[in-house]
Amino acid sequence: MKLILFGIMLFCFISLGTKDYKTSVSDSVRFSNEYKDISKNNVFKYVGEHEVLEILNGKSGIFFFGFPSNIWCHYYADYLNEIAILHNITEIYYYDFKKDRNMNNVTYNGIVEKLRQYLVINDLGQMDLSAPTVLIVKNGNILYFDDEIAFIRGDITPEAYFNDYKKNIIKANFNLEIQKYLEDDSYE
């Protein structure tokens, strides 16, 4: 009797242990979980380094480069999402490049090479992506590149920096560049 009961319990453990319990979470929910101030009604779509490079090599899209541990990224994501929704943009490619930058992998270096003329060389002579960065690409041509906030230094917090004036300037820039992207047919 104990042996039969043991066999049944063993069978249950094995079958429960091999069952796939993964649930699919949409990109917008995942983004909202990582960026707590962003609602689940957002336009961010996760892409990897290969997809970024593919788009830079001849396709079109709006990118947000960043990572959740950078508090400045949270503000940029919020403003960019707001303007994208205003223009009925349904997808902004989100690339969390932190791991790829740390690993210094070949595809990440290909992205850096593609963006070479826009990136800053640091004191060590290295060129890397910075966070946050917004990039707009049309048929492989870079229409807009913004990583200005990534270079703010000192004791200023994002809350203090993004007063109404600066917040409105950033939103106005995003608005103007997204409008150009939507209207610009000269690259097609």
Per-residue pLDDT of the chain (188 residues; tens, 9 = 90+): 666 666 666 566 676 665 555 668 899 999 999 999 999 999 999 999 999 999 999 999 999 999 999 999 999 999 999 999 999 999 999 999 999 999 999 999 999 999 999 999 888 888 999 999 999 999 999 999 999 999 888 899 999 999 999 999 999 999 999 999 999 665 44
Helix axes of 106-114 and 49-56: crossing angle, nearest 10 degrees: 30
How is the chain split into domains, by residue range? 25-182
d(C-alpha 77, C-alpha 165), whole Å: 18
Contact 71, 36 (CB under 8 A): no
CB atoms within 10 A of CB 130: 19
CB atoms within 10 A of CB 7: 10
User: For strand 141-146 and strand 133-138, is the pairing parallel, antiparallel, or unpaired?
Assistant: antiparallel
Contact 66, 35 (CB under 8 A): no
Here the tokens at position 86 are 């205003």
Question: Nearest 5°: phi and psi at 136?
Answer: -120, 125
- Given this model, what pLDDT does residue 15 score? 64
Please, which contacts does 28-32 make with residues 24 or more away whose CB atoms are closer than 8 Å?
Answer: 31/77, 31/94
Contact 178, 83 (CB under 8 A): yes
Rounded to two decimals, the pTM is 0.85
Pure H helices in 19-48:
27-34
- Given this model, what pLDDT does residue 165 score? 97
| Structural domain 25-182, CATH architecture | 3-Layer(aba) Sandwich (3.40)
Here the tokens at position 136 are 């707009």
- Given this model, what pLDDT does residue 125 score? 87
d(C-alpha 17, C-alpha 44), whole Å: 34
The residue behind tokens 């960043």 is: 66
Here the tokens at position 102 are 């740390």
Contact 154, 144 (CB under 8 A): no
The residue behind tokens 């969390």 is: 96
